[in-house]
Amino acid sequence: MNGSTHNEDLSKRNYIRYDSGVEKVPPGEAEDIQQTVDLINQIQKTHWNMHRHCYSGTHARTQGLVKGKLIVPEDLPAHLKQSMFRHGNEYPIACRYSSEPGDPGLDDRIPQPRGFAMKIFGVQGDMFPIGVGIPTQDIEFNSTPAIDLADAKTTKEIIGLRVKYGGNKEELYKQLEARNDTDLQKARDSVRNTHLESTRQYSQTSYRFGDYVAKYSLVPSSETQKKLYDETVKPDEHEPDILSNWLKNFHANHEAEYLWQFQLLENIDDQPVEYSGKVWDPEKYPWQTVAKVIIPKQDSFDYELKAFWEDHVRVDPWHGLVSLQPLGSGNRLRRVGKRVSAPQATSY
């Protein structure tokens, strides 16, 4: 079930083994994280005042909710038999499609990164404290392979600019063009706005992968999904909720399949762990398939389920196995931010 297109024996590569030295915490990061959390709470308060309902700081718009199963094969090569993939198994999952910004009313015709979250049930092993006694592994994906909020310092700066100039795109772009990472920051506004069932999803940040370190990706694998890649949103022809409508129509008539692939760390200078604004070159560091996701036909937009998920369900990559530990500055920010923004959302 190895999904790599490389002909070489990938088990013989010199993968970097996980240890605590993989992460290098920069000075001042704790202050950057706290200031970022304060800004995210400010955004939440703004949307509360607009909608009289508080949402999470990011990925506020639900595009669809589905359930399915995750299948881990028994015959993975030894170097991929890591963490929850050590033995063949089948797990029930619940998944949410979303749009990445913090605006729950975002028009689907506006190109923005899209998200996919997955809760995997029945996972056994050594859990982080937040997950002790709850055998669930949370997984987050985003449709762009690199994230503009590349570390805690960058996130503080960019969220600050969005709060200050969010209503004035021209001024916001002036501020972004004065930065060294202009292309990365502006890329979110020019992503392909296409059918979510054809959209590849990425972890963006790094994670422990048992004995190793990796990023991961979810790849649409059925022929029906692949054919939808060319179906893009046309602002002059489509309605504001076109992405949800496309999903609803797809899931009512088709089964969805995805390959869950991992990209292992081999060169920490070329594959940074702390900074998530750089793509790990797949030609140098190939993707390898470890599992398959199957989503059967179903209704993907139930309003009661949508309300329940948005009000009561939190997806947190720190809710899960120690052997899949989130790594790097962005994930340390998440560890604090998820603890603060979710209670904030339910306190109004």
- Which tens digits make up the pLDDT trace of 182-220? 999 999 999 999 999 999 999 999 999 999 999 999 999
- Highest averaged pLDDT of the listed ranges 92-106, 248-262, 333-347: 248-262
On the 0-12 / 13-18 / 19+ scale of CB atoms within 10 A, 105 is exposed
The neighbouring-strand residues paired with 256 are 295
pLDDT at res. 49: 55
Share in percent of the chain as helix, strand, coil (round to 5): 35, 20, 40
Least confident of 96-105, 134-143, 146-155, 316-325: 96-105
Query: β-pairing, 256-264 with 326-327?
Result: unpaired
Model-level pTM?
Answer: 0.90
Strands (E), the chain: 61-72, 89-99, 114-121, 136-142, 201-202, 206-209, 212-220, 256-264, 288-295, 326-327
Burial of 110 (0-12, 13-18, 19+ CB in 10 A): middle
Write down the pLDDT at residue 341. 47
Q: How far apart are CA 109 and CA 100, in angstroms?
A: 14
**Distance between first and last Cα of the chain:** 47
pLDDT at res. 41 = 79
pLDDT tens figures, 53-104: 454 557 789 999 999 999 999 999 999 999 999 999 999 999 999 998 767 7
Q: Is the pLDDT of residue 347 over 70?
A: no
Percentage of residues in the chain with pLDDT exceeding 90? Answer: 80
The two most distant CA atoms of the chain are separated, in Å, by 57
| Measured CA angle at 281 (ends 289, 22), to 5 deg | 85
Q: What's the whole-number mean pLDDT along residues 37-46?
A: 77
Q: What is the mean pLDDT of the chain?
A: 91
Nearest of 149, 175, 125, 141 to residue 262 by alpha carbon: 141
From CA 341, how far away is CA 38, in angstroms rounded? 9
Which whole-number Å values give the CA distances from 348 to 37, 53, 59, 234, 316, in the listed order?
17, 7, 19, 37, 21
Tokens for 108, please give them: 């689907």
Query: Would you state the pLDDT for residue 344?
Result: 41
- pLDDT in the model for residue 166: 78
Q: How far apart are CA 29 and CA 33, in angstroms?
A: 6
pLDDT in tens, 259-311: 999 999 999 999 999 999 999 999 999 999 999 999 999 999 999 999 999 88
Overall residue count recorded for the chain in this entry:
348
Residues paired with 258 in a beta bridge: 220, 293
Asked if 16 and 266 touch (Cβ cutoff 8 Å), the reply is yes
Tell whether the model's pLDDT for residue 131 goes beyond 90. no
* pLDDT reported for residue 63: 96
* CA separation for the pair 260, 274 (Å, rounded): 23
Q: Does pLDDT of 348 surpass 90?
A: no
